[in-house]
């Protein structure tokens, strides 16, 4: 029996998480880790969930896949998933999974309309995970590279100078859905103050996009630091994430910040021209980390 494999990458948000939920711009980049969906012929639509996924996470996965089956007319395939991405760490695992499954179920769609169809189906799946996703996770996964979102529309951004991002994992965090809901409650209670911060995040993203395309990595790092300060001020960081931000800066990062929804856990990123020394130092401290390299698109 032949199986078709469809890979979709996870992502890091370089700048603009949470602002994106309120329509502000954001910059996200696809990483090398991701999710592979495999399909093989079967008598009816069958999902075989990974044995390691149990409880609420396993249930959320079944709900999302079932939604995708429904929206594609329950094709006669057996669907299996494999992931190299750490789950629920702010690295876009649900977005990658949604894109991988959508690509697998829409494999026979003509290539000219596939990107849009995969976007639409993956968004429906993301809604079952997150409620009100900005869409940047699945759109970055579906396109790869570095994506600059303005008015929720992605456009490829090519960095003038190559750079490394260290991703350091600092333990469990609350779900994206919960963190987004809690922030929304504060935005509704104190709209003037919180909307001002979200607008400022949007301005930082625009400055960051310029810095990236001009190759000014020092400015980009500074913008990341300021962005982290605002996220922390809005209650989205904590001692574990702040401590890792400081460790990365002490290891020579041009800038460091939480990435994804935050909430005192998950992933923290550091910007480097060459991250090999910092990555080794983190590993020696028993910090789970990996490096993603980014350079100008050919």
Task: Considering the complex, state which of residue 77 and residue 209 has its C-beta at the smaller distance from ligand MEV.
Answer: 209
291, β-bridge pairs: 166
Among 36, 128, 134, 292, binds ligand MEV (CB under 6 A): 134
Q: What residues between 41 and 100 interact with ligand MEV by CB under 6 A?
A: 92
CB 221 within 8 A of CB 15: no
How would you list the strands of the sheet with 255-258, edge to edge?
Answer: 255-258, 267-272, 163-169, 289-294
Task: Considering the complex, state which of residue 96 and residue 261 has its C-beta at the smaller distance from ligand MEV.
Answer: 261
Residue 25 engages ligand MEV in binding (rule: CB under 6 A): no
Residue 119 engages ligand MEV in binding (rule: CB under 6 A): no
How big is the site for ligand MEV, counted in residues (CB under 6 A)? 15
Q: Which residue is nearest to ligand MEV (CB)?
A: 134
Measured from the Cβ of residue 2, the count of other Cβ atoms closer than 10 Å reads: 6
User: What is the C-alpha to C-alpha distance for residues 69 and 75, in angstroms, rounded to an integer?
Assistant: 7
Among 6, 8, 10, 18, binds ligand MEV (CB under 6 A): 18
Among 9, 14, 15, 17, binds ligand MEV (CB under 6 A): 17
Q: What residues between 218 and 257 interact with ligand MEV by CB under 6 A?
A: none
Measured from the Cβ of residue 199, the count of other Cβ atoms closer than 10 Å reads: 13
Task: Considering the complex, state which of residue 94 and residue 102 has its C-beta at the smaller distance from ligand MEV.
Answer: 94
Please report how close the Cβ of residue 99 comes to ligand MEV at its closest, in angstroms: 14
Among 20, 68, 209, 279, binds ligand MEV (CB under 6 A): 20
Please report how close the Cβ of residue 135 comes to ligand MEV at its closest, in angstroms: 7
CB 240 within 8 A of CB 264: yes
Phi first, then psi: give them for residue 252, nearest 5 degrees.
105, 10
Q: What residues between 161 and 200 interact with ligand MEV by CB under 6 A?
A: 176, 180
CA distances 44 to 39, 47, 64, Å, are 12, 10, 17
Please report how close the Cβ of residue 191 comes to ligand MEV at its closest, in angstroms: 18
Residue 137 engages ligand MEV in binding (rule: CB under 6 A): yes
Interface residues toward ligand MEV, by CB under 6 A: 13, 17-18, 20-21, 92, 130, 133-134, 136-137, 176, 180, 260-261
């Amino acid at each position: 029996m032949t199986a078709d494999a469809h890979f979709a990458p996870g992502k890091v948000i370089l700048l603009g998480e949470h602002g994106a939920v309120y329509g502000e711009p954001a910059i996200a980049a696809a990483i090398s880790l991701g999710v592979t969906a495999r399909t093989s012929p079967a008598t009816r639509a069958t999902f075989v969930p990974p044995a390691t996924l149990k409880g609420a996470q396993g249930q959320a996965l079944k709900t999302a896949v079932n939604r995708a089956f429904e929206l594609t007319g329950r094709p006669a395939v057996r669907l299996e998933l494999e992931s190299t991405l750490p789950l629920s760490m702010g690295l876009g695992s649900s977005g990658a999974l949604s894109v991988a499954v959508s690509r697998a179920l829409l494999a026979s769609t003509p290539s000219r309309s596939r990107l849009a169809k995969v976007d639409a189906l993956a968004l429906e799946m993301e809604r079952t995970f997150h409620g009100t996703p900005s869409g940047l996770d699945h759109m970055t996964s579906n396109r790869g590279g570095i994506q600059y979102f303005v008015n929720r529309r992605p456009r490829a951004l090519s960095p003038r100078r190559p750079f490394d991002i260290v991703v350091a994992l600092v333990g469990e965090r609350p779900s994206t859905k919960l963190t987004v809901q809690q922030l929304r409650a504060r935005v509704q209670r104190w709209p003037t103050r919180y909307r001002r911060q979200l607008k400022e995040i949007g301005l930082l993203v625009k400055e960051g996009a310029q810095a990236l395309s001009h190759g000014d990595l020092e400015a980009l790092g500074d913008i990341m630091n300021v962005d982290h300060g605002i996220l922390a001020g809005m209650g989205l960081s904590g001692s574990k994430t702040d401590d890792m931000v400081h460790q990365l800066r002490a290891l020579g990062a041009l800038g460091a910040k939480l990435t994804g929804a935050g909430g005192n856990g998950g992933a923290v990123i550091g910007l480097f021209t060459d991250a090999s020394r910092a990555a080794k130092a983190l590993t020696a401290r028993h910090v789970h980390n990996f490096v993603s390299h980014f350079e100008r698109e050919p």
